[in-house]
Structure 1
Amino acid sequence: MTSDNVRQVAHVPKTAPLDGEDDVGTDLAFQGDYAYVGNFGGFSIFDISDPTKPQIVSQVACPAQQNDVSVYGDLLILSIDEPRAGPECDSGDDRRSWEGLRIFDISDKKSPRYITAVATDCGSHTHTMVPAGETLYVYVSSPGPEPESETCKPPHELIQIVEIPTKSPESAKVVAKPDIFPDRSNTEFGSGCHDITAYPEKKLAAAACFGDGVLLDISDPVNPKLVQQLTDKQNFQIWHSATFNNDGTKIVFSDELGGGSQATCDRNTPRTKGANAVYDLTNGKPELRGYFKIPREQTPDENCVAHNGSLIPVPGKDIMVQSWYQGGVSIWDFTDSANPKEIGYFERGPFQGGSLAGSWSAYYYNGYIYSSDIQEGLDVLEIKDPLTDPAKQVKMDDFNVQTQKSY
């Protein structure tokens, strides 16, 4: 069940020690000839110098939800959104007293080394890097509060900012908890943000904060300022993530209707729910233009909703690849903001295990699409299409999706 212009060129199943029942495949980051893949059990480093033959370089057992991953220089950062007994990888969950960020030294890809950790209120569901010279600022997104929790007491601000000195990462610490819009009332999902995408070159960030979409001015990375707050109570349930187009003139916000565990790609769910909303930035302010949802109906047993994706770097066009859990991987064109359309897809069909499954993240990097599948492991896809072929001329040295760079 794959479009004619997309083919799977490689597949690497999950392997021990990250192949247990609870070892969910999560996010991806890239650097040179390496791909870094998060997993509830830890993370893996792949050699992708030949994308058709990815090779496991190392795997680190470091259990926690979500273990979303980013890389910067010799540093790897993991988001921990689950109270643990302590910050180290071998800490259990017998005492639920710590959650936040874990930081590793990856200068030796065969033997990553734990450096330190930073506790953050309500943990870190996802995180976003904003480099500033020799300092790396990390925006931490997490839901909350949970009054009975040891790690997530009220009140809970939308964003926390961690400062990591790149020459002395062991001294990383929380330096700010900005109150971006104090008049906002908590949604049914609590306060906090789910995901933030920064575009440092444009001095902008777009935050998906559960009940709201937010455009921020990050000219001063430690003091982000509200530009505009968006609401869409009719169509959006969980504002999940955001993507700027290359020019910084559009934002795609996605809605994770049902939290990713429900079958929302069916005829009973409106096309504007569990979908993407395309906003044009007009005079610096977002204006809604259209919605996109995959056109392929899924079965009642397939969890399916808009999830993590990235731009395909086609000059003069706005094209994304995106994961849809068991809806597979979709490639779609939003150059015409009001009339976005799918131009290719990869889909496995229903997972026979009957549990949460499908593509968690799907990103384009140096000619290929890499998909982290919750149950199945790492997939490498190739799209051959006149619309996307120019992207093969764009070479990136590294790629962390939540920290956009122009191409």
Structure 2
Amino acid sequence: MASSGLSRRTALRALGGALSLSALPAVSAASGRAVGQGDFGPLGRVEVEGTKEAVVGDGGDTVYLATTDGFAAVDVSDPEGPTVLAERRSLLGDRDGGPLTQIYDVKVDGDRLVVPGPANPVRDGLQAAVLYDVSDPSAPEQLAVYETDFYHHNVYFHDGVLYFGGNGVPGNPLVMVDADALASDAPTPELGRWSPADEDERWLDVPLPVFNLHDLWVQDGIAALAYWDAGTWLVDVSDPASPEPVVKVRGTEPGELTDLSGQEVTVRAFEPPGNDHYVAFDDDGGLLGLGIESWDQNPNDDAGGPGGIELYDVSTPESPELVHSIAAPSADDESYQGTWTTSHNFELAAGRLYSSWYQGGVKLYDVRDPASPELLGEWEDRSEASFWTAQAARPGEFFVASSADFLDWGTTEALYTFPEPALDEGGGKGENGTAPGENDSSNGTRGDGSGVTGPGVGVLGGAAALGIAAWRFARRERE
């Protein structure tokens, strides 16, 4: 999601739009679990086949979904009745090697959307990104196609520049492309590349499963690059033609990874240490979230398990400091073949962390004091939903989360909407000194692996910030 849209989305806007007959009604909380209050559940959802990533357009009224074979635009102006505005499937089916497959990501920058694929290597398949004009989300218009010699699990789109994870070519570089030049069919739209191998050629010999550019985020001229076991790098891309590394936040050195056997590579790719999967800056760029996607491949040791989210103070980019680690929810079977509760995609916006944990549900944190995050609320239904991402829509009103059926778990492929509270200026505490939803009768550390200590956690703050009924009443008052 283009970070330039965060401040615009933060502004609260009047809710509008009519409920479409194709939209599902608000989902009953009886089918899920919310800590502290049993009647909390999603405000609404709309099922969309193939759903993976979700990103929110400027203003918070439109959400774009990657749908594995294409994309969809969803109207969430009424979060109780989200509706599909448009779908595009079987992209580039008329090209050699087409159609485009494994479309797991989309990104939006103003009125343009990029749709990349495939997310993983494919034999003789098309590798490309399609650029769309979405000034009218109900009628996307194709602007350009950028065919590549690499696959790209994720991309980023910011201030007119497309940032690709160029995996499958030497060095697995960050590849930067001028979207305007691409749209005008300029002969050389590529602006520049950067790889850890530019700093140390030993990276060229490291196996791809433990050295791939899995995800990236760009803000204020700094790119955060999650390179799995190779770690997370901050790179100055203010001049894309001459990128410069700033710091390596964490990660393994190439010498430790080069000579791994095939079995050792498999274990390292699935278990900590490493597994730097997702990165995101907060609004002002001073806080970096780093998500770790991992499992327990060897139950006979203590090395594995679901990965959480680390929060780094990067207000001085050259000296990142780990300030807090949020642990993942637990599961009876934490192997790749078991129940997935590891961290997946998330967003830092408006002092909050919107996080997804696959079958472990969604969690919303107050991170205005990142050294001591407060869990405002969570919801899960492990048989029904497996969340790919959680994203801010209108902070203080509602957020969105996409649910996927990644490995034929039988979970719903849909976009969900959730209520959220308006944080008070004192850091989420009420007059009595307790956080919204805290239960004075609770007895200390949570036992669910959330990594949060303190009194019991309630639903998204203050009984869901006045409660769902009051939230809906306030919405009607605004209308």
**TM-score category of the 2 structures, normalised to the smaller one:** 0.7 to 0.9
The C-alpha deviation readout for 1:344-397, integer Å capped at 9, x for no partner, is 11101235xxxxx6100110111211111003211000123653889x9xxxxx
Cα distance change, pair 122–338 in 1 and its aligned pair in 2 (3 A): same
After the TM superposition, which residues 164-179 of structure 1 pair with which residues of structure 2 at under 5 Å, given as runs?
A: 164-165=179-180, 168-171=183-186, 173-179=189-195
**More helix as a share of residues:** 2
Q: What is residue 163 of structure 1 aligned with on the other side? A: 178
1:194 and 2:210 equivalent? no
Q: Secondary structure at the match of 1:165?
A: helix
Deviation at residue 330 of structure 1 after TM alignment = 1.0
Deviation at residue 128 of structure 1 after TM alignment = 1.1
- Counterpart pick for 2:105 among 58, 61, 68: 68
- Counterpart pick for 1:383 among 415, 420, 435: 420
Quick one: distance in 1 between partners of 2:422 and 2:304? 26
Aligned partners of 2:294 and 2:305 also within 8 Å: no
Q: Secondary structure at the match of 1:326?
A: coil
Aligned partners of 1:83 and 1:98 also within 8 Å: no
Aligned partners of 2:52 and 2:105 also within 8 Å: no
Quick one: distance in 2 between partners of 1:167 and 1:283? 34
Q: What is residue 2 of structure 1 aligned with on the other side? A: 34
- Counterpart pick for 2:284 among 247, 256, 268: 247
Cα distance change, pair 389–330 in 1 and its aligned pair in 2 (3 A): closer
1:11 and 2:45 equivalent? yes
After TM superposition, the score normalised by the length of structure 1 is 0.75
Q: What is residue 289 of structure 1 aligned with on the other side? A: 323
After TM superposition, the score normalised by the length of structure 2 is 0.64
Deviation at residue 55 of structure 1 after TM alignment = 1.3
Quick one: distance in 2 between partners of 1:70 and 1:36? 8
Cα distance change, pair 83–280 in 1 and its aligned pair in 2 (3 A): closer
Quick one: distance in 2 between partners of 1:254 and 1:137? 24
Q: Secondary structure at the match of 1:221?
A: coil
Identity level (%): 22
Deviation at residue 287 of structure 1 after TM alignment = 1.9
Amino acid at match of 2:161: Y
Amino acid at match of 1:182: E
Deviation at residue 116 of structure 1 after TM alignment = 2.3
Deviation at residue 65 of structure 1 after TM alignment = 1.1
- Counterpart pick for 1:348 among 340, 359, 381: 381
Quick one: distance in 1 between partners of 2:155 and 2:109? 13
Cα distance change, pair 223–157 in 1 and its aligned pair in 2 (3 A): farther
Q: What is residue 274 of structure 1 aligned with on the other side? A: 307
Q: What is residue 228 of structure 1 aligned with on the other side? A: 247
Q: Which runs of 5+ in 1 are unaligned?
A: 85-92, 145-153, 352-356, 393-407
1:96 and 2:124 equivalent? yes
Q: What is residue 398 of structure 2 aligned with on the other side? A: 368
Q: What is residue 39 of structure 1 aligned with on the other side? A: 67
Amino acid at match of 2:132: F
Quick one: distance in 1 between partners of 2:392 and 2:43? 14
The C-alpha deviation readout for 1:285-338, integer Å capped at 9, x for no partner, is 2122331113x4334242121111112414xxxx20111100110112444444
Aligned partners of 1:236 and 1:274 also within 8 Å: no
**More strand as a share of residues:** 1
Q: CA RMSD in A?
A: 3.3
Aligned partners of 2:192 and 2:240 also within 8 Å: no
Deviation at residue 224 of structure 1 after TM alignment = 2.4
Aligned partners of 2:134 and 2:140 also within 8 Å: yes
Quick one: distance in 2 between partners of 1:207 and 1:104? 25
Q: Matched residue pairs, number?
A: 346
Q: What is residue 266 of structure 2 aligned with on the other side? A: none
Cα distance change, pair 82–305 in 1 and its aligned pair in 2 (3 A): closer
Quick one: distance in 2 between partners of 1:277 and 1:344? 19
After the TM superposition, which residues 123-142 of structure 1 pair with which residues of structure 2 at under 5 Å, given as runs?
A: 123-131=151-159, 136-142=160-166
Structure of higher RCO (CA pairs closer than 8 Å, 6+ residues apart): 1
Deviation at residue 79 of structure 1 after TM alignment = 1.6
Q: Which runs of 5+ in 2 are unaligned?
A: 1-32, 91-99, 253-270, 406-411, 429-459, 466-479
Amino acid at match of 2:42: Q
Cα distance change, pair 2–29 in 1 and its aligned pair in 2 (3 A): same
Quick one: distance in 1 between partners of 2:293 and 2:166? 15
